[in-house]
Structure 1
Amino acid sequence: MPEDPCPIGPVVDVVFGRWTTHVLWVLTNDGRMRFTELQQRLPMISPKVLTQRLRQLERDGLVERSYFPEMPPRVEYETTELGRTLSPVFQTLAAWSDRHLDQIAAARQRYDGP
């Protein structure tokens, strides 16, 4: 099997999948929350997709699901210690975005023409 020329490829697949960064960003910055709270913070994600993302993140060890056998039952999600190690990466990307998104928009406009 040939060696992957991009050493971050596997990480990109795990962390930067569709809606995954949105979920991780909210949980990392806002802390532990219930599904409905997360859904309110991310209204552009359907409940089905949000559930899928949370399950995948839990499987990957980046999010922890806590079940509380109360009446009614309560479930909360939060980033794990491993998930929180991504915080500096997200902060770096946010800073890069602040500095360069205007340049990307200008380049796209030039490329696409009038």
Structure 2
Amino acid sequence: MPLISSCEVDTALELITGKWKPSILLALINGDTLRFSELKRSLPNISQKILTAQLRDLEEQDIIIRTVYPEVPPRVDYRLSEYGKTLIPVLETMNAWGIQHAERMRQK
């Protein structure tokens, strides 16, 4: 078993946890390119300010790519970067563990 460092685990968790980042990543996980308004619709309880901040953070970490089209009105869309796609197995593993844990807690 590889040596696990809490520092690196904390770094990874900080990147993908929080109230909205997992939902944003899951909205983009199928390879879809979504406009800001489509992301907002898929997350109806998030404020525009928080969505913007979370998207900027994910963009700064090279997880998503933001593309601005020089149109009037401006069009902006988001997609997972190639680097961001490396999170897919992590999210799938976390989902599988979550299913097992929920079942375990139901049986308890």
Return the TM-score normalized by structure 2.
Answer: 0.85
Identity fraction in percent: 37
* Structure 1 vs Structure 2 CA RMSD: 1.9
Moved runs in structure 1, 4+ residues, more than 3 A? Answer: 104-107
> Alpha-carbon deviation of 1:29?
2.5
Name the CA distance, whole Å, in 2 between partners of 1:47 and 1:71: 20
Q: Residues 81-105 of structure 1, C-alpha deviation per residue, up to 9 Å, x if partnerless?
A: 1111000111111112222213336
Larger radius of gyration: 1
Give the TM-score of the pair, scaled to structure 1: 0.81
Q: How far 1:106 moved relative to its partner?
A: 6.2
2:105 alignment counterpart: 104
Cα contact 2:31–2:79 (8 A) shared by 1: no
Matches within 5 A, 1:19-98: 19-29=20-30, 31-98=32-99
Q: Which runs of 5+ in 1 are unaligned?
A: 108-114
Alpha-carbon distance between aligned partners in 1 of 2:106 and 2:14, rounded to the nearest angstrom: 25
User: Are the aligned partners of 2:67 and 2:78 in contact in 1 as well (CA < 8 Å)?
Assistant: yes
List runs of 5+ in structure 2 lacking aligned partners. none
